[in-house]
Amino acid sequence: MNMKSFWSLLALVLLMAVTVSCSKSSANYEALVSRNIQCPEDTHLAYLPWGESGLEAVCLQKRGPSVVAEHGRIKIEGQYSGDKQVGEWRWFDESGTVVRTEQKDAR
């Protein structure tokens, strides 16, 4: 087997592994969605990793700090109380500079 064939075969095996992994995640998600879970007021439905490859659907209430990261950078910071945004919320650009702030009221 020459190197070109080796790398082609390796790429195919990796693609198959990713496809199987994604289909398992998708199957878990579809199974949970089919249950039509309804969360109580002041909570929200979240899908969280469970075990080695499972997924859990759970109703959560946001409390305390919230930090959102995307592409390895902090994008948003703020606080929750009773599932509502409260206090100062800050949005950051790619360099980490605050580009927007908002004062949130829990009413």
The full set of domain ranges for the chain reads 1-61, 62-107
Which tokens sit at 90? Answer: 């800050």
Mean pLDDT, the chain, rounded, equals 79
Q: pLDDT (tens digit, 9 = 90+) per residue, 45-94? A: 998 888 888 888 888 888 888 888 888 889 999 998 888 899 999 999 99
pLDDT at 13 over 60: no
The CA distance from 23 to 19, in Å, is 6
User: Identity (one letter) of the amino acid at 68?
Assistant: V
Residue 104's pLDDT is what? 93
- What is the number of other CB atoms lying within 10 angstroms of the CB of residue 60? 12
